[in-house]
Chain A
């Protein structure tokens, strides 16, 4: 997605406010010259004896309200006018700040929400390969770059332009030659800033990289502290860190030295410009060509201009960052999200699953080939096969995490592809091998999909998943938060919480994708026993490495290289020659040998 498009979209809804901010900054900039002009009038014409200078309207107005004499006897009125214009200018500058903040914060909010929403709706496959760190970086610091630009930098550029636009006519109308000499440094300062900050980008980048490396070394040294200790590498680590830290220090110092050169040179330029105004203005004043008030006006006006101009150079040099940030955000938004056809249906799902010659290819490789089987509601289907045989893919198709290429999958007689994705997933309790727990309490984690569940329901599913006692053993029980600020659950405990979570959905289809791998055999058996009554007749798919787990299934599918090579019950499969009986017998044999061994020992003792 193009950078400008991202920005344009995100601005939708804030454009009017943003325009108001720009108008206010313009008015504030214009008005900021009113006070210096009034001071000049006060010094020259009220306190001094010069004729009133400026456009005829102003001169006439002053005459009409009693002339200079009136002001002279009543100096307060001039002061009141000065304070008033400052206040009015202040009001505009406040409004500008308020509007710019409102617009840019809303923009950032929209960008953040849009990114979050978009990322959540990207395909399952995208998230399998996604780099969390990178995505977070783009959604935080890149959004921040854009926000900062819109909130501060863009407005600052506007202010600088308005101020130049306001100052030049005023100064040139007062005295063109003096004005020309007075603003001579402005383009120089601007170009100097622009060139300097453009050139310094490289150093900035080096500092960033060095900072990143320092963090990596630190992070690794801290997380690997046991390794460091066991090998006695404290000195080595300290030296390694020291080297990075020193490099970082030197780079930052280099950057600061460059900044020192920049600030001293640009300050020198600015101060010299003021000096030129004072000296040249003095000679002009001595010659009677300008007044003291005019001199003061020039000093004040040019001082007011110099800083925004310097900033403008810096901002324009930084523009590159902004467009890079927008481009990086655009790259995420350009990835297509999951979508359903308009005709997608939401049928009642009871759990009758039919695979009919289903094939699926991924990254040019056939993962599933002509898979066919039927599972009526309530059946337990076990999937068995070596790594890469397609077991996980098969169940992922059922949850519409991937879409099959050929053949047909029917759920209760309806073609799966026509069923709305979310609708389907809501009816499939899918327990991943490595489930993710959120930084919420354990109760909230269990009731993620059914947030209004009653306490009894939560306890019941936790008991079924054999995790209730574990949870109760924590100080705060179900209210214990999970994560860095709470408890760290073991792999097996996480899996059990995830099972409880899936059960709470009471889905017509349940999938356990090797989701008891980190649970010991005894607990595994307990959970399976509890499940047989608690799954409410759900059609259940189990992937496991434990033969005893699989043996009890109503239907066992043996997969190899994407094909179903054998299917049947434990008994029928044992009767066939094939992978299943071979495996089973091999283990039987081992078990028998072990029994023999035991017996032999028994006899010996």
Chain B
């Protein structure tokens, strides 16, 4: 390995590293504004200057490739003077408005000027003044503060794949803007706020809300989609003020989607803060005692087979497990379902319902086939990985169905199930391409598994991959893209009703009105007619579920309890409590435990540790599912169509959020961009 000497310390570095990276290996910290590990190198801020032996001038370490035998110094007066000079230029036009700037306290420029800045300015001319730019409802701009590092431009062009930001004008007049000040049409747009090293791009909903040092920071997990992005929730008292990404190389790198970041204001609105009972058609506030007494009296009326339970999209494992044991043990009912629609599942093996090749594995892949999915809206972060793979390896991407602009080019193979039949029998042109590839990925979306053709699509593709040795120990090409944070966990815990012949037994019973009593645990996205059914809704927000309910029990949202979540890859992650439930609301598993105790059929655990032990046992347990589909599937002809995803409105929290509502209204007006369609 080549060696480099940094401040008289010799270190080995990998071929292809820059001087800056090599310096970091040696433990020398280099100040920087424009350089970012995950973006291309621009080399325009000049803050990272270092001294190189035999060079009369300082070099920009971020752009200089490290070479064997280089001698670098980072702590000499020469370097210090160079950096001070750069800093003085940067500050020449930067306004002195730190006290009113939202970046204050977490600003790179502020921090670094502490070391390299002068205490006064020699610049006597007028400072540059730049007009504010409009970039949509999420990004607030104060372009006078901009130091032209172009991180935001590079992010939009490279990672987000939406080349909408650019630098117009030149020299002192350079301005960062979108084309004619349109809002950015990306689900990752707000990441430019984190990237901005100064206060030029700040968060619009969070503007003047709080100072970073006033906030309580809790590291937790996101539930807006099945990705399970790692986030940090910043709270001030009860209020969740903002959500920021945390680095997790395996899942979200350091990006999060706009929904993850900005749906948090929905946690303050439409909350259920006390139990309600429907009296003469109107919901009336009630006490816990009254509500639970009514609930128990109703439970006594109905037979176990008339009672059904549906778990929602934001549920943690504690909720799901308690709910299941409450139904099985206390009520004696097995009518349970976690799916929102007739989506085929095969829970025989764990690999049948998770994303086997893992999100990180996408980067290694050399062939990607999307089946009835729009990953851009269903799993934004995953889509960014596919784009990364496309940029890095020029991975070929094919799609059955046409999902629209995915930020990378792909070839559409039509939408009929015939395509799958042809691929399986080897008639299709891409059959050879799959065969040739070493690590192919097939991503099956929920839309493809829907309805009567779902079983055919899944089982055929699976057996095709098995027969061609693409499901082996080191690589599993079969991937299911779940859309809900609770889905994989619920299937792991056996929260579904299927029989050998009928995968949708629950939905058929529901449609036949076999159920008279339905318990909705945070389930708002399921469609059925109420008629004379008695409905209990337990959840955090007053939405579709609460609207039809006869009894409402207030539960906690995802930031208000400790909970376990399993993401679409099957990774178990712990979410921590950042805030507390409002009013009389309580953690959901405790409510269920209390009801079970009141009907004298306890669940058998009283504290969360015991509960978690049981959950972990249940997940690890070898499941003996009575479900067999090894026989040849009959061909079902159908046109697979991707269900439209109302991206900003997928769950109760997002639907309650004012910011998400604004985004939705705006996205309705806009056409999709890229190259052809923009106005």
Whether chains A and B associate is no
B binding-site residues for A, Cβ under 8 Å: none
